[in-house]
A and B are shown apart, each in its own frame.
Chain A
C-alpha cells in the first residue's frame, strides 16, 4: 500500500499570497505528479517528475512551479495566488514500469480557495 501525504488538507488564502502545497511519499517511487481537479471535472496533469532534479510541465498550463530535490518530496508553489487558482490539487506517485501496470497512488488532495 502506497503512502503519500499532502498538506494542508484545506487552505483559504487571500489574493497575492505565496503558497506552497506539500507532497511526500514514503514508497521510494521515482515518478511523481500534480493533478488539478475542479468539482465534477476531469483531473488535469499540471506537473510531473521522473526523478530527482527532473520536472516537466503537464498538459494543462499552470502558473505554479515545482521542485524535486529529494525523491520523496515534490512541493508545488504559487508565487502569487489568484481566485482563478481555486481548485483541488492532487499529488500522485508511481513506481517502476513493471509489466505496464504501475498505477498512480494519490494523496488526499489540497483544496485551495483564494479569496
Chain B
C-alpha cells in the first residue's frame, strides 16, 4: 500500500537547526516534495527531490535516499515564523498525472 510517515510534532529553539524526517512506501516513485503550511493557510512549496542527495535552498535543505525510502527537511537558523506544519508528499506516478500522496505533516513549534 501507500504510506508516508512523519513525526507528528517537534519543538525547537529560535536560531537552532531542526531536521524533519519522512519515510515512504509507495508503489512507485517519481519525486518527493516538501510543503510548509501555516495554520489556516494553503500549503506552499518548499523543495523537490527526485535524485539521491541534498538540495539546498537558503535556510532550507532537503535530502533524499531512494534506496531507503527516506527524506529529511533541514531548517537552519530557525525563526519564529518557521512555526508551521511541514508536509512530505510523494509523486508515485510518472508522466501527466502529477498526483501527490501526502503525509500527515509535522507540526513544528519554534520557541524563543
Contacts and interface: CB of A to CB of B under 8 A. Distances in A.
A45 B99 contact: yes
Q: What is the interface of chain A mostly: helix, strand, loop, or mixed? A: loop
A106 B31 contact: no
Contact of B96 (A41, A50, A104): A50
Contact of A101 (B44, B48, B95, B100): B48
Q: What is the interface of chain B mostly: helix, strand, loop, or mixed? A: loop
A43 B87 contact: yes
B33 A103 contact: yes
Interface string B84-103: 00010100000111111111
Interface of B: 4, 30-31, 33, 41-45, 48, 50, 87, 89, 95-105
24 contacts: A31-B96, A33-B99, A40-B104, A42-B4, A42-B87, A42-B103, A42-B104, A45-B99, A48-B99, A50-B96, A50-B97, A59-B101, A90-B42, A90-B43, A97-B96, A101-B48, A103-B45, A104-B43, A104-B98, A105-B45, A106-B43, A107-B42, A108-B42, A109-B42
Given A43-B43, A45-B99, A104-B43, 11 more contacts: A40-B105, A44-B102, A59-B99, A59-B101, A97-B95, A97-B96, A100-B50, A101-B48, A104-B33, A104-B100, A106-B43
